[in-house]
Amino acid sequence: MSDVLASLFITAVKLSALQRFLLMWPLCLSIAVVYKTTRCDRLREVPVSALALCLTIVAGMYAVGVGLWLVFRIAV
């Protein structure tokens, strides 16, 4: 049993680009929900505000990624 758990930390799991893209959404959504829960005055505002923040985070991450990719392409 412990060997199986240890192998998870030693051996990298191969993920496709789509799988990496999809794994980013729960992380961003959980960050957005926790942040908006601490900031909103009414609990009713949290779902819409958290979704908007999640979309903003993901769009910002992709914008930074595209920007860095362009800088890399221009420099090489």
Confidence of residue 1 (pLDDT cuts 50, 70, 90): low
Q: What is the pLDDT of residues 8-64, one digit of tens each?
A: 788 888 899 899 889 999 999 999 999 999 999 999 999 999 999 999 999 999 999
Residue 56: which of 18, 24, 28, 23 has the closest Cα? 28
Give the rounded distance of the alpha carbon of 44 from its chain centre.
24
Full domain range(s) for residue 63: 15-75
Does residue 65 form part of some domain?
yes
Residue 6 lies in a domain: no
Average pLDDT of the segment spanning 70-74: 96
User: 8 in a domain, yes or no?
Assistant: no
**DSSP track, 3-67:** HHHHHHHHSPPP--HHHHHHHHHHHHHHHHHHHHHHH-SSGGGHHHHHHHHHHHHHHHHHHHHHH
What is the number of domains present in the chain? 1
User: Does residue 38 sit within a domain?
Assistant: yes
